[in-house]
Structure 1
């Protein structure tokens, strides 16, 4: 997505946020299967997002790296949501991403429209680099803190916070309603 650094993400998700949310939402949530369970799954996800060709070789080590990267992004998004476990795990997640970033170098692509960071490698390493490029893009446009994880413990889906003041805690009104009903029942039970 080519935009100037001063532009904000629109209220709807942009390509960068869609890529990162699609990645974290491959986790096994609410009884669903892990969509990065094996090399075939990772290969299919990479091909589905156009980050790599369907015939790009994917190894078990690539799958392990993808899961670790996904977990780090998830913890950061949980911290954006104010989740206690996200706050506690934030230093480890940030440290992990700092250590991994040099493995997936980015290069500037300059054009009349502006500058965009792109992966400097092909294959799986380039695909992981695209995730870092998406994070850099969102950060430059002020959208990074809007990537969050739903605070509903039966959901934990990644979402783009579309609220005006970035105060959203739930991925949907359904999750918000469920949590409000739980809180009401809990208060009524203790009263």
Structure 2
């Protein structure tokens, strides 16, 4: 696959993509453990995402909701990468996000520099709302489809595709090289 020049990521698109990718990358990858197994991990993720000042206690139900939301975003990013299982699960993921979006209302914040959406709630609900605000920001910039999951079956890390033609399939050149070597060995065995 020919290398393409990378486009720079506009700062606010980078902030939005970093928030979403930081969320989906809490999922277990390879031999890693799930990084969102309890209220402490969800609280830490919320604090890292700028959702500080939580007055509410994070519960196990919040963790279960976070994992469902993470799974839906993951399926969409897998579909952006052209993964077959992502395409098959895409309608269910989109339906889920449509149904729960009303729980996390957004409000416009107008400034002299422009307008952007922010969560209308604080705490855990505001943290989840921030994910929807980030998705809207990326979609408005035409960058929503650039959030992908690595196609290397031993990786599946979420990444922002910075290639000029949005053709990136792997999170790094090392994952791309491993996948190419695996495909070569497979062809050599069958040939």
RMSD: 1.5
Report the more deviating stretch, 31-40 or 166-175: 31-40
Contact 1:119–1:130 at 8 Å: present in 2 too? yes
- Which aligned segments of 4 or more residues in structure 1 are displaced greater than 6 angstroms? none
Q: Matched residue of 2:78: which SS?
A: helix
Determine whether 1:10 maps to 2:9: yes
The change in CA–CA distance for 1:9 and 1:62 in structure 2 (over 3 A counts) is: farther
Pairwise CA distance, 1:89 = 0.2
Pairwise CA distance, 1:52 = 3.1
The CA distance in 1 between the partners of 2:99 and 2:166, in whole Å, is 29
Which consecutive residues of structure 1, in runs of 5 or more, have no partner in the other structure? Answer: 1-7
Contact 1:150–1:171 at 8 Å: present in 2 too? yes
Pairwise CA distance, 1:163 = 0.7
Pairwise CA distance, 1:51 = 1.5
The count of aligned residue pairs is 184
Match for residue 179 of structure 1?
179
Match for residue 150 of structure 1?
150
Which consecutive residues of structure 2, in runs of 5 or more, have no partner in the other structure? Answer: 1-6
Report the more deviating stretch, 140-149 or 9-18: 9-18
Contact 2:80–2:148 at 8 Å: present in 1 too? yes
The CA distance in 1 between the partners of 2:133 and 2:14, in whole Å, is 13
The alignment's TM-score, normalised by the length of structure 2, stands at 0.93
The alignment's TM-score, normalised by the length of structure 1, stands at 0.93
Determine whether 1:130 maps to 2:130: yes
Contact 1:9–1:141 at 8 Å: present in 2 too? no
The CA distance in 1 between the partners of 2:98 and 2:157, in whole Å, is 24
The CA distance in 1 between the partners of 2:81 and 2:133, in whole Å, is 22
